[in-house]
Structure 1
C-alpha cells in the first residue's frame, strides 16, 4: 500500500520493454568490521564508506537486540531478518565466489552492490530498536504523562543527533565551494567526486558521464548505439548534428531548425510511456533505429520537449499511499490519546 506506486513503471515499461538490465556482478564489497566502524562513526557522508552504515543506535540493536526479543516470536523473526540482511551486505557472504555461479547471478546478480541491503537491514532493526525503547520507557515510569515527557526527550535527542550526523556531509558542500562548483565541459568525462551542484549549474551534470551505470536501463537498441546517445548526437534526415539540450524536471528540450516534414532523431531513449511535444503540441513519435525518439518536424523552428507520462494508476497508487500514511499517523495519535485517558 505504501510503496505500490513504485512498481507501476516497472510493470508498464520494464516488463516486455526490451530493456537492458544493469550488469550482473557484485562490486564495492565491504567487510563486517567496515560496517561496524562506519556505524559507530555515526555520520553521513564521512570518510568511512561514505556513510554506508546502520548508525550507532541500530548497530547496538544488532548486537544486543536479541536480549529483548528472545521470548517474542514475531519480534525475534524481525530481528533475525535485520541481522541476516546486515551480514549479507558485507563479505560475511562470499560474494566473490558467488559471482561465478550462473544461477546466483541470474537471480540476484542485479543487486550489484551488496551494501544496498543495509537500508533493508535498517528497516527491520529500527522496528526492534523502537520495541526496545518502548520497553525502556515503560520500565522508567508507568505514568502516562511522564512517559510522554520521556518520549519528547528521546525525540529531541534524535533531532540533535541527526544534525550531528549530517554535519560532515554539509561541510563537504559548504567548504571550498568555488573549487568544487561543477563547471560545464565540452568533453565527455566522468563526473568527479565531491562536486557542488545547485539550481544554477544543474544542467552541467549532463556534460559528464556517471561514475557507474551510464547505460543501465537503456533499451537494447539504444544500448547498441550508446555512443551517439551519450554524445548528444541529433540526426536530421540522417545528417549528424550536435545540439545542446535544456534539462528540466522530467523534461528534455531541444531547439531544432529544420524543414517541415524532416525526420528528426533525438538522443533521447524512447520508452513505452514517453511523451513528445513540438512547439507546445503533443505529437506522435516512432522509435528510431537506435532506439530513440524520432518525429517529423512540424515547422522550420521546432521546440521539442520530451518527457515521461505515467499511467493514471501511478497517481492513484500514490494517493492511496498518502492516505495510508495518514491512516498510520491517525492510528498512532489515537493510541496515545487513549493511553492518556485511561
Structure 2
C-alpha cells in the first residue's frame, strides 16, 4: 500500500504475482509482521531498530537455523552475538543464520557502496566551490 514491497527480491513473492494480501502472498506478510522462523515454526519477535541496523534477540533450545524477517541484498552484513558471520538466503528472500543454543543476538545491516561515498564527496566539494564562487562574485561587484 505504501511501497513497502517495491524493492523486495523476487524470492519474497509467491507465484501469484505482486499481490500482498495474506491469502495470496503469506511470505510477504510474514516479513512485514516480523515473524522469525525457527525450525519451521513462526514466532513474532519485536526488532530493535537503529540507523542501518535491525537486531533480533532469539532464544533457542538447541543449535538450529533461524530465519529472521530481514531481506538479504547484495551488501548485507550479519553479526551473530557480536561476530561477523556468513548467512544463507531463505525461500522468502530473508537472512538465515545457524543459531547457537541459548540466546542469539542477530544484527543485520547494509554496507553502502563506495560509489555512494564518492558521490557525497563530489557533492560537498561542488557546494564548497559554489559558495566560494558566490563570495568572490559579490566582492567583485562591490569594487
Q: Into which bin does the TM-score normalised by the smaller protein fall?
A: 0.7 to 0.9
Please say if 1:276 is aligned against 2:66: no
1:223 aligned partner: 13
Please say if 1:238 is aligned against 2:40: yes
Distance 1:220 1:310 in 2: 21
Structure with greater helix share of residues: 1
Residues 247-302 of structure 1 show CA distances to partners (whole Å, capped at 9, x for unaligned) of 11111110011256410101111111111111111111111111001111145211
Q: How far did residue 331 of structure 1 move?
A: 0.9
Distance 1:260 1:311 in 2: 37
Q: Structure 2 vs 1, CA of residues 333 and 223 (structure 1 numbering), >3 Å: closer, same or farther?
A: farther
SS of residue paired to 2:13? helix
Distance 2:40 2:94 in 1: 13
What are the ranges of 5 or more consecutive residues in structure 1 without an aligned counterpart?
1-210
What are the ranges of 5 or more consecutive residues in structure 2 without an aligned counterpart?
15-26
Distance 2:107 2:84 in 1: 9
TM-score between the two structures when normalised by the length of structure 2: 0.84
Distance 1:266 1:306 in 2: 9
TM-score between the two structures when normalised by the length of structure 1: 0.37
SS of residue paired to 1:215? coil
Distance 1:331 1:249 in 2: 35
Residues 224-269 of structure 1 show CA distances to partners (whole Å, capped at 9, x for unaligned) of 3211111211111222211111111111110011256410101111
Larger Rg: 1 or 2? 1
Q: How far did residue 308 of structure 1 move?
A: 1.0
Find runs of 4+ consecutive structure 1 residues off by over 3 angstroms.
Answer: none
Q: How far did residue 214 of structure 1 move?
A: 2.7
Please report the RMSD computed on the Cα atoms of aligned residues, expressed in angstroms: 1.6
2:112 aligned partner: 310
Distance 2:8 2:126 in 1: 34
Q: How far did residue 337 of structure 1 move?
A: 1.2
